[in-house]
Structure 1
Amino acid sequence: MIPSRSRRLRARPVTSSCRPSLPLLLLLLIASSSASHPPIPISEQLPPAPVPPAGHPPVILPVVDEPRSPRQPHVFGRQSTQSVRGKAGFAQSADAGEETAAPGRAGRALAASATAGANAGACDAEWMLLWPAQGCWRPPRIAGQGGSSTRVAPASSSARDTSAFRSASAKSAASAGLVKAQSAAPSGIVTAQSATPPPPPPADEGTPPPPPPTRPDEGDPGDGGSVPPGGNEARLEPANEIISVCRSGAPSTITIAPDWNGQTWRGWGTSLAWFANYVGKLPEEQFSLVMDLLFDKAKGIGLNLARYHIGGTFNASNSPQFLTAAWETRALPGFRPQPNGPYDWMADGRQRRTMLAALARNVDEVEAVSYSPPWWMTVSGDTAGAAEMNQCNLKPEFFRAYTEYQAAVIEHYRTHWNVTFSTMNPANEALEGWWLQGHRQEGCSFNPQELTTLINHLSATLKKRKLLTKVAGFDSFVGATLRFTYKFPAALKAGLLRLNVHGYVPPPSNTTDTRRYMEGVFVGMHRMATGLGKEVWVSEIGPMWVNGNDIGVTLFMARCIVQAVNIMGASAWIFWQSVNGVGTNPDLFLKWGLMAVRMYRLSDTESRPLDLVISKKLYMLQQFVRGAPRGSLPLRIDAADGCQHCITTFFNPDQHFVSVFIVNQHNVTHSATFQFEDFVRADGSKACAFEVFRTSATENNTMVSSQEYPDVPAFIQVDALGSSVTSVVLHNVDPT
């Protein structure tokens, strides 16, 4: 039984149950001819795979059988807001060391008058609004002079009662079943009653802001896309670019304080679109394998969010460019292919099959988005865009008809498939203005006035049809969202359910540049969303502008997660294309996807063996999904030591555990001590248990240590290996 005592929560949300690392069900049905790209090595400690059926033998990793917890109903919208004192990026007073929120209206980035000492300089509001906005960066402040000790979430002025965020059916961590480590001695873990932190490292120096990245090439993900001159590999960062716990070899003591700023974690997901259109035609065995890897909590990651693409089709006579090397087509079938014809509700069967299979597993929320109007509504007759950049491709007479088309699809899925989309976004990256006729993706540009008209029509149409689906905005890059959102009417912004942004970041060739971008536009996005009272979802993200080996790209994406949670205050994180086609550049076949398959242009009745290779990104994401399920509360990370760039932590009020994630992009081990002085045992009759998981070049979300203690340990010291993502999960705890 879980005691019903009331506790006070000062933190940020974390959701579902945290399981021990469940090995993924990897069925690699490999054709005898495809040996040039072997799958990730399988641990020699795993038991032998069962005897496969005749044909192409699968390699099966054992899974731990766990009961599925019942789904909790989801209440959309922001639950509450709280002061963001101490949040990353707030101006630091050079005299008193006080944290002050830079003034500024919603939709603007940082205020022009914010200062932070000699190295900080002033923030120019208009300069901040450039795409991508450069951000007013200032060197992180070193906390104190006696050591590199910091708190994850400084003490909040107002505590919160955790009982309001606990499910009535909350279960103790022990009910999930703890998996013990194979070896008795924990790896890289030391516990003690006291620790003396080392002296602080020198502060980072300020440097000029980076130039804005060029317009991203829409190169085929299967081909690896295009890389700026000189390349931007996901290389290991120089040790002197990160301070405190993020500095090479510098141990740090970090207090995990349950300070919550009001955000509730909604979950992890993927866009469907292109990959779903291919996977949806696979034979049942191959199809189920991919679905299990992505959406099943016991056999795979257990993603709970999905984004459905309402296609615009293409006019085959003048749009052949959608046929690419890696993808059969990037133009999804529309439901009304001809202007005077009826709706074809049998269209898009492949993506629908994928979506329904995801819903049958762990997905509990689906968004809808439309990239382009049907081709016959466009000016150019091409769903890739208009003849010129920044030109709207939707004919003026079809604005209302376009939203009627979107609403008709939403209503059809509700009445015929029992699928209710939580939100609908009528445009995708519309504010960037880069959609052009003859390119290889669907897209349509809108300026703020045109997009306002479109959203107003959509809202009215959804209301007229009595649909529950709400409107989200604006599915653009963070910089573009900051630049243009203030131009939208206040009533329109108030009517949005949430703000969806695309979390792509500039090239990581210079660590300081990337950090300044985060501390500029991400902080601006957080402030704007807080002012509007809206949640922020990272509705699309991938390793754009990044090249490198699989573990390098994986570490870069893990750091993007940490920064989105800590700095922007994101409530959800949705990957772009979870399955990537190999295409014509097999050396980069794992760059974009969580897994890669060699795709063939087959009819729906043809079949070939599935050549599938798993990326390290899949294991890394599984690590985050299980340590921070839906309903979790992200805890604040103090900006003082730069830890908000490499460490994030969550508290799960239902399952009573705290999880800490450390992303180490260096090639040397970091030592960090985490104190849990603000937590007590949730169930006094049970011990506290902690587990450590790691993804590295040789480990795939592997449990490297597990130990029980009669009470909450004073602290846990963790050695985060070089080039790894390490997570610590402490069970059976509640805030004091």
Structure 2
Amino acid sequence: MKLSTSREWLFSLALTAATLPSAEADMTTTISSSTNWGTWEGFGVSLAWWAAAFGSHSELADLFFSTKTTSYNGAQVPGLGFTIARYNAGACSSNTINGSAMVVSPKMIPSRQVDSYWLDWQSSSPSSSSWNWNVDAKQRNMLSMAKARGATTFELFSNSPTWWMCINHNPSGSNDGTSNNLQSWNYDQHAVYLATIAQYAAAHWGVTFQSVEAFNEPSSGWWNGLTGTQEGCHFDVSTQATVIGNLRSELNRRGLGSTLIASSDENTYDLAISTWKNLGSAATRQVARINVHGYQYGQGRRDTLYSLASGAGKRLWNSEYGESDATGRSLVDNLLLDFRWLHPTAWVYWQAIDGGGWGLIDGDNDKLTLGAVSQKYYVLAQFARHIRPGMQILDGGSNYTVAAYDSNAHKLVIVAANWGPDQYLNFDLSHFSKPGVSGALVPRWTTQVGSGAQYVSHSDTHMSGSKFWSYFPSGAVQTFEVANVSL
């Protein structure tokens, strides 16, 4: 959507004024050159469930995993350049085993059933008839296309153990939602399943999983097989600890000693804190990275979780985030909070394609229909296309600014949002030993939350000594790249 004519005129006038030496900023933030909140590993996306539905669409792989401009739905759309893909090991199959069959929740959404490679308990040998490596072809195809387009980091994760490992044979959860649903004699079998997939992927798919995550929101109490709409399983903390130990042993047994274990993908920051504190020393030693989901949104002690992770020498990811706000406002709010307080080294979106505002692209994974690119997509582009793997995350100096530094290119990236009135924002780089070159161009890109500008590039901003400023309409998210910067 375009701005109204009068609004366009005011915006153009303001952008012209932003380059004048006499302009003064309404707010100033000073970027720190001395902080180090971690080396960025990348932005990414989980492949279930959208890739199981649309995994043959190469244009979608281009949009999500490349930075090239791709023709989609009649528009030229900039690729997000995701470098992380999370692959879901499914839990479902339609076969029977000695008269037993999978129990399906009456509210199960079909597209959220992902095929399991392990069909029955008769054999753990991946070359036996107990395994079918031909299922889930579309999700696997998207994984391959992601790698071909530059994705470098892959994680294998599980929403539920395979159905026949579950107490009620229902991979949507126990009958009360709060009880463990993994049979005790299958604690190791769940680990065997994941370790076998990781080994097979390296040998046959050309994909090496950096990490394996055995749980998905395990402490939550909504994994109810009677009402569930997706795969899910509750694990109490002691069971998690046992499975983590088993997984480490199974990975090692297959020569995958360098494959990391991530845990525990809790739904909120506060649940992640509680789980980590109660896992026990044996399990926490075997966990190389803490994964957490961002569904606590504006609440929760991000700072406490970061302190626990950094104190234990563990990496920290926001491994799943999503909401139904298609405007992009909620996404920016929570990204800013995560960078400011959680300090993850990676950030992963949940459903790239979905309805109800959840998707970066609107679509229906059951009806196999694709719609428009969401404004949220273009908002995320402000971050994902510019904050790249290997950059050092700095203190942006305010709650509306994110900063990242590329030591090889001597480039500073700044992403900022304005939720106040239309105003100038000033960026002070005086703490850097070399704060760019006075008079040099500072390229910028703009997306307007809700509607309006969609990742529009501009060449109208310049350094003035150790500072630069730009005009921000209310609701604007802007990215700047400053060259010739040294810490």
TM-score interval, normalised by the smaller of the two chains: 0.7 to 0.9
Q: Of the candidates 249, 259, 271, which is equivalent to residue 460 of structure 1?
A: 249
Residues in 1 aligned to 2:264 and 2:102: alpha-carbon distance in whole angstroms: 32
Q: Structure 1's 187 and 394: CA in aligned 2 closer, same or farther, altered over 3 A?
A: farther
Residues in 1 aligned to 2:147 and 2:255: alpha-carbon distance in whole angstroms: 23
The one-letter amino acid paired with 2:84 is L
Residues in 2 aligned to 1:356 and 1:288: alpha-carbon distance in whole angstroms: 11
2:372 corresponding residue in structure 1: 613
2:51 corresponding residue in structure 1: 276
Residues in 1 aligned to 2:4 and 2:208: alpha-carbon distance in whole angstroms: 42
Q: Of the candidates 633, 636, 644, which is equivalent to residue 392 of structure 2?
A: 633
2:74 corresponding residue in structure 1: none
Deviations 1:191-231 (A, max 9, x none): 64996x8xxxxxxxxxxxxxxxxxxxxxxxxxxxxxxxxxx
2:36 corresponding residue in structure 1: 261
Moved more, 337-346 or 692-701: 337-346
Alpha-carbon deviation of 1:733?
A: 1.7
Q: Structure 1's 437 and 626: CA in aligned 2 closer, same or farther, altered over 3 A?
A: same
Q: Structure 1's 611 and 275: CA in aligned 2 closer, same or farther, altered over 3 A?
A: closer
In the alignment, structure 1 residue 306 sits paired with structure 2 residue 81: no
Q: Structure 1's 43 and 596: CA in aligned 2 closer, same or farther, altered over 3 A?
A: farther
Q: Is the 8 A contact 2:353 2:365 kept in 1?
A: no
1:472 corresponding residue in structure 2: 262
The one-letter amino acid paired with 2:252 is K
TM-score by structure 2 length? 0.87
Alpha-carbon deviation of 1:189?
A: 2.3
Alpha-carbon deviation of 1:637?
A: 4.2
Alpha-carbon deviation of 1:704?
A: 3.3
The one-letter amino acid paired with 2:254 is R
The one-letter amino acid paired with 2:314 is K
In the alignment, structure 1 residue 678 sits paired with structure 2 residue 431: yes
Alpha-carbon deviation of 1:705?
A: 3.6
Q: Structure 1's 652 and 487: CA in aligned 2 closer, same or farther, altered over 3 A?
A: same
Deviations 1:367-419 (A, max 9, x none): 01011111111011100000113211011111111111111111110111121
2:416 corresponding residue in structure 1: 662
Q: Structure 1's 187 and 730: CA in aligned 2 closer, same or farther, altered over 3 A?
A: farther
Q: Of the candidates 61, 78, 86, which is equivalent to residue 291 of structure 1?
A: 61
In the alignment, structure 1 residue 319 sits paired with structure 2 residue 72: no
Q: Is the 8 A contact 1:682 1:732 kept in 2?
A: yes
Give the greater-gyration-radius structure (CA). Answer: 1
Q: Is the 8 A contact 2:32 2:396 kept in 1?
A: no
Secondary structure of the residue aligned to 2:30 is strand
Residues in 1 aligned to 2:222 and 2:188: alpha-carbon distance in whole angstroms: 23
Q: Is the 8 A contact 1:193 1:715 kept in 2?
A: no
Alpha-carbon deviation of 1:625?
A: 1.5
Q: Is the 8 A contact 1:371 1:427 kept in 2?
A: yes
Q: Structure 1's 345 and 472: CA in aligned 2 closer, same or farther, altered over 3 A?
A: same
1:688 corresponding residue in structure 2: 440
Residues in 1 aligned to 2:59 and 2:251: alpha-carbon distance in whole angstroms: 36
Residues in 1 aligned to 2:64 and 2:2: alpha-carbon distance in whole angstroms: 20
2:305 corresponding residue in structure 1: 525
Q: Structure 1's 499 and 188: CA in aligned 2 closer, same or farther, altered over 3 A?
A: farther
Q: Structure 1's 317 and 391: CA in aligned 2 closer, same or farther, altered over 3 A?
A: closer
Q: Is the 8 A contact 1:192 1:714 kept in 2?
A: no
Q: Structure 1's 568 and 317: CA in aligned 2 closer, same or farther, altered over 3 A?
A: closer
Q: Of the candidates 332, 347, 354, which is equivalent to residue 573 of structure 1?
A: 347
Residues in 2 aligned to 1:184 and 1:691: alpha-carbon distance in whole angstroms: 18
Residues in 2 aligned to 1:708 and 1:726: alpha-carbon distance in whole angstroms: 15
Runs (5+) with no aligned partner, structure 2: 6-11, 70-78, 95-100, 123-128
Counterparts of residues 501-540 of structure 1 (less than 5 Å):
501-506=292-297, 514=298, 517=299, 521-540=301-320
Q: Is the 8 A contact 2:461 2:468 kept in 1?
A: no
Q: Is the 8 A contact 1:194 1:714 kept in 2?
A: no
Secondary structure of the residue aligned to 1:679 is coil
Q: Of the candidates 441, 448, 468, which is equivalent to residue 716 of structure 1?
A: 468
Q: Is the 8 A contact 1:693 1:727 kept in 2?
A: yes
In the alignment, structure 1 residue 597 sits paired with structure 2 residue 385: no
Alpha-carbon deviation of 1:561?
A: 0.9
Runs (5+) with no aligned partner, structure 1: 1-39, 45-182, 198-250, 507-513, 583-587, 603-609
Q: Which has the higher strand share?
A: 2
Q: Structure 1's 482 and 473: CA in aligned 2 closer, same or farther, altered over 3 A?
A: same
Secondary structure of the residue aligned to 1:577 is coil
